[in-house]
Amino acid sequence: MTTKPMSAEESIGIIQSIIETEKMRFSENGFIYRMWGWLVIFAASLQYLLFYMNVQHHYYAWFLMILGGVYTGIYYSKSKNRQTYPLSGKIMAYTWIAASLNIFIVSFFFPQMAGQWLLFIILAFIGVATVVSGALLRFPLMIIGGFICNALAFASLFTSPAYWGLYSIMAVTVSDLIPGYVLKAKFSEKNV
C-alpha cells in the first residue's frame, strides 16, 4: 500500500484543526457542568422536600430542567467563539443535544411507559454524553465520572424510586460537579 504525500494545504489544515481543538480544550471553564450539577441537586432535593410534604405532584420539581435547557441555549448562543468551534466541539454539542432531547422526551412524555427503567435511561444517556465529552476534552476524570454514572444507571434498576433522587445527586456529582470544578481550576491556572 502506498501513501500519497500530503500537500502543504492539507498539512496546514491538520495543524489548524489540532490547534483549534486544543484551544477549545483549554477554554472550557466547566461552568455549564457546574450549573447543571447544582440544578439537578436542587431539583432532586426539592422533589424530596415536596414528597415528604405529601405534595401529590412532587416530580414537578424536575421541570426546572427546562429552564436549564433554555439557559444553556442562551449561554452558548452568546458565546464569543461559537462559530469557531472545531469538529470535536461540534461533536460534543450535538452529543449533549441528542442526549438531552431523548431524556426530555422519555421523562416528560413517556414516564409511565419507562417505569422502573426511567432513571436508568436518564443516567445512561448522561453517562454516555459525559464519556464522549471527557474523551473529546481528553479529561480522564470526566470519562471516569461518565462510567460511574452508567454504573449508577444499572444500580437504579434494583432500587426503589424513593431513592432515585440520591442516585441523581451522586451521578451529577461525579459526572458534572467534580469535573466542572477541576476544569474551572485548570482554566483559572491557564488564564492567570
Tens digit of pLDDT for each residue in 17-28?
554 554 454 456
Structural domain spans, the chain: 8-190
Q: d(Cα 37, Cα 34) in Å, to the nearest integer? A: 5
Q: Taking the C-alpha atoms of 109, 113, 116 and 121 in order, what is their torsion angle to the nearest 10 degrees? A: -50
Task: Give the pLDDT band of residue 14 (cuts 50, 70, 90).
Answer: low
Task: Give the pLDDT band of residue 186 (cuts 50, 70, 90).
Answer: confident
Q: From residue 150, how far is each of 42, 125, 144 by CA, in Å? A: 21, 8, 10
Average pLDDT, the chain: 84
| Predicted TM-score of the model (pTM) | 0.79
- pLDDT digit string, tens, across residues 27-36: 568 888 999 9
Which residue in the block uniquely carries the three cell numbers 454524553?
129
- Residues contacting 138, CB < 8 A, separation 6+: 25
Question: Are 133 and 95 contacting, i.e. CB atoms less than 8 angstroms apart?
Answer: yes
Q: d(Cα 170, Cα 151) in Å, to the nearest integer? A: 11
Helix (H, G, I), strand (E, B) or coil at 65: helix
- pLDDT digit string, tens, across residues 4-13: 666 666 556 6
